[in-house]
Amino acid sequence: MKKRFSVVQAKKSRDGDKTFWQRHGVAFSSSKGISIKLESLPLPNEQGEVWLSLFEDDGKKGGGGNVPAPGVSGINDEIPF
């Protein structure tokens, strides 16, 4: 049986007070091993390292991209021109 995971990277907010999870893709685990599909490229941290985490996917097709940590307000999506 395959297990599905979200591939995410912890990022600090601009003010450095909060952390949010940037989703970069999905991973699948089976009896033959783990397969990872990246949908975006992670950026290295200040030390030049890239750390990715796998969290078991709950099956919901949430929006990819930036998933703010609890307490982070929404983003204004209006285009100024």
The contacts of residue 34 (CB under 8 Å, 6+ apart) are 27, 28
**Do the domain assignments include residue 18?**
yes
**Do the domain assignments include residue 67?**
no
Average pLDDT, the chain: 78
Q: How many domains does the chain have?
A: 1
Q: What are the pLDDT digits (tens) for 19-36?
A: 889 999 999 998 899 999
**Do the domain assignments include residue 72?**
no
Per-residue pLDDT for 8 more than 60? Answer: yes
pLDDT at 54: 93
**Do the domain assignments include residue 46?**
yes
Q: Which domain holds residue 42?
A: 3-59
**Do the domain assignments include residue 10?**
yes
**Do the domain assignments include residue 37?**
yes
* For the chain, the helix, strand and coil percentages under 3-state DSSP, each to the nearest 5: 0, 45, 55
pLDDT at 79: 59
User: How much is the average pLDDT of 72-76?
Assistant: 45
Run of H or E residues at 35: strand 33-38
pLDDT at 68: 43
- Read off the pLDDT band of 45 (50, 70, 90): confident
